[in-house]
Structure 1
Amino acid sequence: MASSEQDKSVGRLHSSWAHAGHQVMVSNSGNLSKLEPLVAEMGVNGSSGQADEVVEFADVILFSVLWRKMEQVLNGLGSLEGKIVIDTMNPLTTTETIVGTAPGEHIFEIPQAGSTSEELQKRLVGARIVKAFNHFPAELLVKATQESDTNKLTVFLCGDDKQAKHLVVQLIEDSGFIPVDAGRLSSAHLLENLARLWHEVMEANELKDFAFSITRLK
């Protein structure tokens, strides 16, 4: 049901989906043997494969890659027409390519208009892009999915295809979060700025273990 160009920090999503009954295939840009622990954790519903095998297998693709590597990854995937693609990217670069910044620092390059999701939609004509899972760090996924039912975190999503969003809402719920629709795909830049806000709050307060949630006032 779902697949991705795998990063170890989002493995919790794949496990949650597999345990919810979805058939999940994972891939990466290196040696597939590195995915064996994750495949074992997913159980009978999990498997691994090359990127082109994932595209053939999946109805929904979790596109979890570095922004600067988007074109490189897409060039090896082939057509994704008709596929639902969940974009988790933020327009980040790293200090290795930026003179005068501290080692390990991430730099947001928020465009004046548009977003990674809209750029992905331009590149993948016919794919059904939904923005989600971008606005808090992936390494918090494990901790967040262990929270109680009264303290679940919000995952915002946006997209232009209502049916695609409906399916992504189900996947968000299956992974233990509360989905909140943020509108059309043109709102994706707002979710990227929300990720930027998380980063600024984290730096200002030296606080990492937090994420956003919506509280309904009585």
Structure 2
Amino acid sequence: MEKTIDQNETLDARKSLQIINATIETSKKLLTDDGLLLICWGFVFSFGNLWRYYKQAVLTAWWLRNIFDALQILLGIAVIALTAYFIFFRKKKAITYTAISTRFVWIGVIVAHNMMVLITKYILTDINFALIQPLQLVLIGFAFFVSGGIYRYYLLSVSGVIMWIAAVSAARFSLNDQFLIRGIAEVICFIIPGILMYTPQKKQTAHV
């Protein structure tokens, strides 16, 4: 009887250890995946906004505009497909509260953004993009700030603060200049943290 109890306790301890190890591995993988997604989304966002600024500020040929506009659409489709793959199709050994919480934060920001556009259009009877751009930066900054707290990766929270600073700065300029400010902010807040999140975890995986 005592042997049976000891065996059960040993099995329970092993199962608990396996669950803990699986959760740790999943958390590391999640950080790597999210780092890659930050890089990809940051590239698409910054490319789009910097291109919008450039084609308004500099006279460009129509064929060049068509190529880059089409490229922007293709990149957007590709990054959406990649995100869907990571969220819905990639197998994970365990589902963490970090992953669930972060998803809800960013989904909430997307919903809030669309509601903000509708409310702005309803009140002003037109969409004022010079107003929408800084407000979008505020929402993105909020998502970064909260995500940093969830991950305990405070560089993301710093990125949120930088986004807020960019929002205040952009509000003082014309729409085209806002594209430039936003593009630079997206490089700093998306791509750089994404690289820092992705690279160390990838090195650890390679060593293992």
Q: Tell me the TM-score normalized by structure 1.
A: 0.28
Larger radius of gyration: 2
- Taking CA–CA contacts closer than 8 Å with sequence separation of 6 or more, which of the two structures ends up with the larger relative contact order? 2
Q: Tell me the TM-score normalized by structure 2.
A: 0.29
More helix by share: 2
More strand by share: 1
